[in-house]
Structure 1
Amino acid sequence: MLTKLERAVDAWGGSNTLIDNWLESRRQLLIHYCQLAGLPPYEGEKGHLPDETRVQQFCNLLVDYMSEGHFEVYDQVSTACEQSGEHAKALAQSLVPKISASTDAALDFNDKYTNGVNDDIMMELDQDLSELGQKMEERFELEDRLLEALFERHSEAS
């Protein structure tokens, strides 16, 4: 996921402050995800549950990222796509609902790990992180397609 993020930053970074900030939010979310999951290069001590504070920090970043997309980025990108023609408009209209579907998984994860976490719930963290990671990867791919539609619009306008 971090490699795909780097490609997104290379492709669209510097073109728009909103997009730059959003991609940086994605970077921070992914770093915290990898740290929490103990993925390279953040392998932690095997067999130990992560600190509840770290889980809550990740949940905060997750909800912030989802909110930023829904309430700031998607509207502006969709509007820009609408201005570029029917194809880009149709693409944006088809992608945003698919992106939104992953929001439920993120909110469910957040609710589970911020409302009275105990050891039994924490024992499910690895599996839940794995499932969330899959949803996040799907979401990032869809978001990148949305950004690609915006980027193509600006490339054609230049």
Structure 2
Amino acid sequence: MHSTHSSKTTNATHLVNTWLADRQTLIVAFNNLCSLRPFAQANSAYLNESLQEFCALLVDYLSLGHFEIYEHISDSLERCSPQRGIPERVLQCIMNTTVNALDFNDKYQHQEKLSNLEADLSALALCFAQRLEWEDQLIASYQMAKQASRAFAKSA
């Protein structure tokens, strides 16, 4: 049983680390996209390519979080402290930012009209900054649960 729990924790830790690396890649792509301002004067082909790359990374990041990371973190928290789980409020806040990010993706994934891109990127940046804070809360909870689990395993 202990090795199974340890294996799940190791896999979850690897998954979280991969997700954090993906987050960094997404932030770099966002910064690269913003560096092309003013968008009206940017090389259209390069801007569209950068925008498409950012949208793809955004959807991949959101998907990994929602379909794998949150589940692993929730499982880890429940194993260590069944009454805790992931706070519903935090998940709802993250879900709201997901809707905003997916709306951005839907608008710009295949669109050539970029007249509102600067305003939409600014709004997305504010939304994502808050999301990252909530995700960091989840990661901190996961890490505390992992430490508590190790301490319990050593004392058992």
TM above 0.5, yes or no, is: yes
Q: Deviations over 1:54-102 (max 9, x none)?
A: 101100000000000000100010111112225532x433322221111
SS at match of 2:111: coil
Structure number with bigger Rg: 2
Q: Which residue of 2 aligns with 1:57?
A: 53
SS at match of 1:115: coil
Paired residues for 1:92-107 under 5 Å: 92-107=87-102
Q: Which residue of 1 aligns with 2:24?
A: 27
Query: Any stretches of 5+ residues in structure 2 without a counterpart?
Result: 1-11, 152-156
Q: Which residue of 1 aligns with 2:64?
A: 68
Whole-Å separation in 2 of the counterparts to 1:105 and 1:16: 28
The percent of aligned pairs where both chains have the same amino acid is 31
Whole-Å separation in 1 of the counterparts to 2:25 and 2:37: 21
Q: Which residue of 2 aligns with 1:128?
A: 120
Whole-Å separation in 2 of the counterparts to 1:48 and 1:88: 51
Matched, 1:144 2:140: no
Matched, 1:48 2:48: no
Task: Report the residue type matching 2:49 in the other structure.
Answer: T
CA distance 1:69–1:63, shift in 2 (3 Å): same
- How many residue pairs match? The answer is 135
Task: Report the residue type matching 1:135 in the other structure.
Answer: C
Q: Which residue of 1 aligns with 2:3?
A: none
TM-score, normalising length: structure 2 = 0.79
Larger relative contact order (Cα-Cα within 8 Å, sequence gap ≥ 6): 2
Tell me the C-alpha RMSD between the 2 structures: 1.8
Query: Any stretches of 5+ residues in structure 1 without a counterpart?
Result: 1-14, 39-43
Task: Report the residue type matching 2:48 in the other structure.
Answer: E
Question: What is the CA distance between 1:48 and its match in structure 2?
Answer: 2.4
SS at match of 1:116: coil
CA distance 1:148–1:45, shift in 2 (3 Å): closer
TM-score, normalising length: structure 1 = 0.78
Question: Quick check: 2:76–2:146 contact (8 Å CA) kept in 1?
Answer: no
